[in-house]
Amino acid sequence: MAITDAKTSLRYVCRTGVNRVAAGPDMFRALANPSSAPARHAVVGQAPWMGDILDFRFGTFEIDAARQELRRAGEAVHIEPQVFDLLVHLVQNRDRIVSKDELIETIWRGRIISEAALSSCISAARRALDDDGNDQALVRTLHKRGFRFVGDVAENSLPATIPATRCALPQAAGRGAAKPAVGPLTPPDRSSIVVLPFENMSCEPDQEYFADGLTEDIITGLSRQPWFSVIARNSSFTYKGQAVDVRDVAAQLGVRYVLEGSVRKAGNRVRVTGQLIDAANGNHLWAEKYDREVADIFALQDDITNRVIGSVSPQILVAEAARVERKPPQSIDAWDLVMQSVPHMWRMSTQEHARAQELLRKAIELDGNYAHAHALLGWTYVSMFNLDTRRPIGEFTDEAIAAGARAVALDDEEPWAHLVLGLGHARRRCPELAFKHLSKSVELSPSFALGYAGLGYALACGGQPESGLQALEDAHRLSPRDPFLAIYAPTVRYMALFALERYEEAIAVCRATTALHPNHAGAWRLMTVSLGMLGKLDEAREALAHAQMLQPELSRALVESNMVYANPAERSRFIEGLRNAGLRN
């Protein structure tokens, strides 16, 4: 393992021959700095389509802008207000390509949203028009450029005297700014969050910059998550210095979740507290405090930022997955299907993963360009490698790489896509490609705990098991309650421990894993070889019987062709352990 000195701020290094791919939370500090990317400003004013009010007609459809209504053959079509605004903007600007940034500025009024949220809104517009992501007869996606409405449209102007009814988001910021003079917004059908400015509780006014910088970094980091949209800084900082009721803030900004906190500095120590609140019922979903010594203020800010994001994101994901389960079937869209699939991935059984795949395929049918759905489908194949599928394990690697490659082709900045591709290449004993994609995964999302765990797996199997354990510790540090990490972390740990010849520890991890998940074929395999290497032959034969019950085709030849360890010596020990346990070809 190569540990760098303090000057480089790197926790571990992926050695790939002549190339060195550095990884670790601190190396991505620049990505968490909001000044490195242009800020999006909230748009204040009337509804985006309220300049010249028009009627539009195409095919059997008609847009009645005055009534904010979409009709098909004279019958009103149910469409969410945000989707309606997006559709009208595309139709009005049908003579050109409309970029993603323009849609975000115009329709979301400064709210930072994920690719998944925008993709889902486009899909909803297509469904309302009986279009889909494959045919794209009316709304066309131009890869990496934007969208364009391509239908033949007739339009009629109406008097522009109808007042706008949409509420604008506030823009003014700074201490003492007036509370936004707007009515309540309806919470969007997607999960959304506002990060209120963290309060400086110190007696030192010059510490204000730290509280503000921490808030901005958390906003920026949360905006990279695929599960929810985030209110932009300009809107959230309107509430700076005010005593507010989080339920009022949520109503004014149209969000479901509110994150608030405080910063207190005394001497050379700082305490940061944070709490996540479900504004719909006032429940506290998460609360934590962080006590640190102040040495490198930027490193401290990055560390706390990534920990907060790593803790908050899973809590929202769990809450939203439960909420979507309660939605009526007729209102389900691609994003909903993805959210419904997630809890099935947290249960280690073939049946649950098959259900997740079914839901994800339905989401892809509704929106073939939904990169996150493709990536999650790839993740299910990564997980099924360790389940009682009774299928050749090599098939899962092929399926995972295919899904990951499709997701990357659709969106090269999707962290889950690079996670899946990296793990696929690790399975094929291609450590350089694995490190490349997994390092990019955490570079794109520095608080992506599962990305660090995936990097740990690649390191453990790629000849650097000590570094693999360090990467896993980073993952736990970032998101100790992440349900994906709870499922995957034991696999990373027992693979690293076997490579380090720490067989007793590996067996303990495997026993704990199989106690929770009796059908975890990977843990039974690793337990078998570790017991075999220790000469505990009776226990090894018993573990082998369990492994063969879950994977009847298990043989030394199968293992040799599918084993993930890149180091020939580790592969040799694995085969030796199986042979000692009594496995025959």
Whether 441 has a pLDDT exceeding 50, the answer reads yes
Q: Where are the domains of the chain?
A: 54-157, 169-316, 386-581
Using alpha carbons only, give the angle 415, 9, 445 rounded to the nearest 5 degrees.
Answer: 15
Rounded to a whole number of angstroms, the distance between the first and last alpha carbons of the chain is 36
pLDDT of residue 329: 53
Round to whole Å and give the CA distance between 272 and 132.
47
What pLDDT shows up at residue 30? 31
Q: What are 63's strand-pairing partners? A: 56, 70
Place 328 in a pLDDT band, splitting at 50, 70 and 90. Answer: low
Whole-number pLDDT of residue 14: 58
Spatial contact of 457 and 423, defined as CB atoms under 8 Å apart: yes
Share of the chain above pLDDT 70, in %: 81
Q: Which two tokens stand for residue 23?
A: 């990884």
Q: What is the pLDDT, as a whole number, of residue 4?
A: 31
The whole-angstrom separation of Cα 394 and Cα 376 is 19
The rounded Cα 564 to chain-centroid distance in angstroms is 26
Helices (H), 200-239: 208-222, 233-236
> Which of 478, 495, 349 lies closest to 426, judged by CA?
495
pLDDT band at 163 (very low <50, low <70, confident <90, very high): very low
Looking at per-residue pLDDT, the higher value among 6 and 120 belongs to: 120
Grade residue 18 by pLDDT with cuts at 50, 70 and 90: very low
- 190-218 residue pLDDT tens: 678 889 999 988 777 767 878 888 888 88
Model confidence at 476: pLDDT above 70: yes
d(CA 574, CA 530): 8
- Cα gap 145→141, rounded to integer Å: 8
Does 528 score more than 90 pLDDT?
Answer: yes
C-alpha–C-alpha distance, residues 495 and 522, integer Å: 10
Share of the chain above pLDDT 90, in %: 36
| Residues 94, 124, 47, 74, Cα dihedral to 10° | 80
Across 90-94, 115-119, 182-186, 246-250, the highest mean pLDDT is recorded for 90-94
Confidence of residue 465 (pLDDT cuts 50, 70, 90): very high
Instruction: Tell me the three state secondary structure of residue 275.
Output: strand
Quote the pLDDT of residue 111. 67
Q: Which pLDDT value is given to residue 206? A: 67
* Nearest alpha-carbon partner for 120 in 91, 82, 149, 92: 82
Pairwise pLDDT comparison (78 vs 545), residue with the higher score: 545
Calculate the alpha carbon distances from 523 to 48, 513, 529 in Å: 55, 7, 10
**pLDDT reported for residue 13:** 52
pLDDT score of 333: 77
In this prediction, residue 239 has a pLDDT band, given cuts at 50, 70 and 90, of confident
Report whether 342 contacts 321 (CB < 8 A): yes
pLDDT in tens, 293-311: 877 777 788 888 888 888 8
Give the model's pLDDT for residue 542: 96
Helices (H), 326-444: 334-345, 350-366, 371-384, 393-410, 415-427, 431-444
**Whole-number pLDDT of residue 301:** 82
The answer to whether the beta carbons of residues 458 and 15 sit under 8 Å apart is no
Taking Cα atoms as reference points, which of 314, 313, 339 lies closest to residue 324? 339
> In 3D, which of 5, 2, 13, 33 has the Cα closest to residue 305?
33
Give the pLDDT score at 110: 61
Angle CA 47–52–56, to nearest 5: 95
Model confidence at 434, in pLDDT bands (50, 70, 90)?
very high
Average pLDDT over residues 264-268: 82
pLDDT tens-digit readout, 136-159? 889 998 877 889 999 888 876 544
Question: For residue 393, which of 553, 566, 574 has the smallest C-alpha distance?
Answer: 553
- Please check whether residue 435 is in contact with residue 470, taking contact to mean a CB–CB distance below 8 angstroms: no
Q: What is the pLDDT of residue 33?
A: 35
Mean pLDDT, residues 10-37 taken together: 39
Question: Does the structure show a pLDDT above 90 at 6?
Answer: no
CATH topology of domain 169-316: Rossmann fold (3.40.50)
Count helices and strands in the chain by DSSP H and E runs: 21, 15
The answer on pLDDT for 8 being more than 50 is: no
Query: What pLDDT score does 165 carry?
Result: 34
The neighbour count for residue 185, using CB atoms within 10 Å, is: 19
Check whether domain 54-157 has CATH 1.10.10.10, yes or no: yes
Q: How many residues does the chain have?
A: 585
Q: Mean pLDDT across the stretch 355-361?
A: 95
**At what angle are helices 81-92 and 100-107 packed, to 10 degrees?**
130
Say if residues 249 and 196 touch (Cβ distance below 8 Å). Answer: yes
Is 1.10.3720.10 the CATH number for 386-581?
Answer: no
What string of H, E and C letters represents the secondary structure of 527-553? HHHHHHHHCCHHHHHHHHHHHHHHCCC
More confident site: 374 or 559: 374
What is the overall mean pLDDT for the chain? 80
Q: How confident is the model at residue 551 (pLDDT cuts 50, 70, 90)?
A: confident
Average pLDDT over residues 99-128: 80
* Higher local confidence (pLDDT), 156 or 279: 279
Model pLDDT, residue 100: 86
Q: How confident is the model at residue 171 (pLDDT cuts 50, 70, 90)?
A: very low
Helix, strand, or coil here: 310? helix
